[in-house]
Amino acid sequence: MIETTTSISGQTHASAHVALEKVPLESYVPPAKPSLIGLSRVELAEKLGGLGIAPAQRKMRVQQLWHWMYVRGAQSFEAMTSISKEMRKELERHFTVARPEVVAEQISNDGTRKWLLRLPGGDKLEKAHEVECVYIPETDRGTLCVSSQVGCTLNCAFCHTGTQRLVRNLTAGEIVGQIMVARDRLNDWIDRETPNGNRLVTNIVMMGMGEPLYNFDAVRDALLIVADNEGIGISRRRITLSTSGVVPNIKRTGEEIGVMLAISLHAVRDELRNELVPLNRKYPIAELLQACRDYPGASNARRITFEYVMLRGVNDSLEDAKLLVKLLKGIPAKINLIPFNPWPGTAYECSDWQQIEKFSEYIFNAGYSSPVRTPRGRDILAACGQLKSETEKLSARERQALRAMAMTD
């Protein structure tokens, strides 16, 4: 049961008695014909062995499949013309190369795209699960925000996704599949021309629905496929994993995945962070920052990003800025200031722009990069902290609030 209390900001929020973590309501049920998307080369070889492919041929066949799936984006075995017809038919009998289905696409007035994706079903009696994925085009890059769970394990007070139940973790194939869907929709595979001649999806951020480090194995396996230079080929330096602070898996992220790290910090005092990010009661700020100091590969060239959502009258004072600088001493860091993105029913408000600029200026003068993230996709609830699967329908009150936000934002 969630109780409420009045915080130091004078606003009413979830109390410290809110559960730190949610328990998954369901587990993954594989379909009768599983997809090969998301399998490692070793796992693909095992599948081919099950079809009677001789060991001497498996490496070559795996490489053919890998190329067709991850370089050319083939959506069927029939399209894989360098593989014999007989083998294509055999693969078709047992497997698919299915990725999530696009149920709805929304395009913001700033060019941001949000896709509601339905995951390939397992048992026919199982309710179809849906997640959201967001593409943010910029002049020098195209960033894809990818989900790791249906819902979220955590209950961060300012986050729309945190109000959702945790249904289940995504598989590696469902995570990789989101990137493949984006390339499908944008016509962004290597054998096709893009409007500017360059790749459209250049960066990946694990900042969608879910806490990635509570689904570590699947996220790791997926990102290793995404970073493979003989496939999707997105550099580890262009992949950022964001965590609310699951300390035991931070070191593992550096050692086993090697991607850029982002920390959802949002407060500089344990008392307030306990309220905003209840997981802090399990892994407090000092413990979290020590894990960052120990993060494998962290350097001035590979800085850790600290995300800090700007909440009016809550965490945006100059004293907060001073303490933030003090806390991060000795960590190769940059600080990403995020204007709070409102969502229906929230009690928080975005800091005044003048206050955000003062906060940013203090941090910058202390020697830290402190960009203010430009809100993108607010009009389609695609901005940071706003994702919530349409599986959970908005109430009439939420819809009314959303319409009001769209008119005034």
pLDDT in tens, the chain (409 residues): 333 333 444 443 444 456 788 999 888 888 889 999 999 999 999 999 999 999 999 999 999 999 999 999 999 999 999 999 999 999 999 999 999 999 999 998 888 999 999 997 655 556 789 999 999 998 889 999 999 999 999 989 888 877 888 999 999 999 999 999 999 999 999 878 877 778 899 999 999 999 999 999 999 999 999 999 999 999 999 999 999 999 999 999 999 999 999 999 999 999 999 999 999 999 999 999 999 999 999 999 999 999 999 999 999 999 999 999 999 999 999 999 999 988 888 899 999 999 999 999 999 999 999 888 666 555 655 444 444 554 444 444 433 443 333 333 3
What is the pLDDT, as a whole number, of residue 10?
43
What is the pLDDT, as a whole number, of residue 245?
97
Q: What is the pTM of this model?
A: 0.87
What is the pLDDT, as a whole number, of residue 206?
97
132 is catalytic: yes
Query: Which residues of 68-195 form beta strands (DSSP E)?
Result: 101-107, 113-118, 130-137, 142-145, 149-150, 168-169
- Pick from 208, 296, 316, 220: which is nearest to 254 by CA? 296
Catalytic residue among 130, 132, 211, 307: 132
Say how far apart CA 220 and CA 217 lie, in whole Å: 5
What is the pLDDT, as a whole number, of residue 395?
42
What is the pLDDT, as a whole number, of residue 164?
85
DSSP 299: B
Helix 318-327 and helix 353-365: axis angle, to 10°?
A: 30
What is the pLDDT, as a whole number, of residue 20?
83
DSSP secondary structure letters along 25-45: S------SS-B-TT--HHHHH
Catalytic residue among 152, 156, 292, 384: 384
Furthest CA-CA distance within the chain: 69
What is the pLDDT, as a whole number, of residue 121?
65
What is the pLDDT, as a whole number, of residue 35?
96
Provide the sign of the torsion angle of the four alpha carbons 227, 230, 231, 235, taken in this order: positive
Q: Give the pairing of strands 203-206 and 239-243.
A: parallel
The pair of structure tokens assigned to 55 is 């060991």
What is the pLDDT, as a whole number, of residue 203?
97
Helix or strand run (H / E) with residue 333? strand 333-339
| 3 state SS of 79 | helix
Q: Give the pairing of strands 203-206 and 142-145.
A: parallel
Residues 245-266 as b/e (b if ≥16 CB within 10 A, e otherwise) read bbbebbeebbebbbbbbbbbbb
For residues 331 and 289, the answer to whether their CB atoms sit within 8 Å is yes
- Pick from 197, 216, 356, 333: which is nearest to 265 by CA? 333
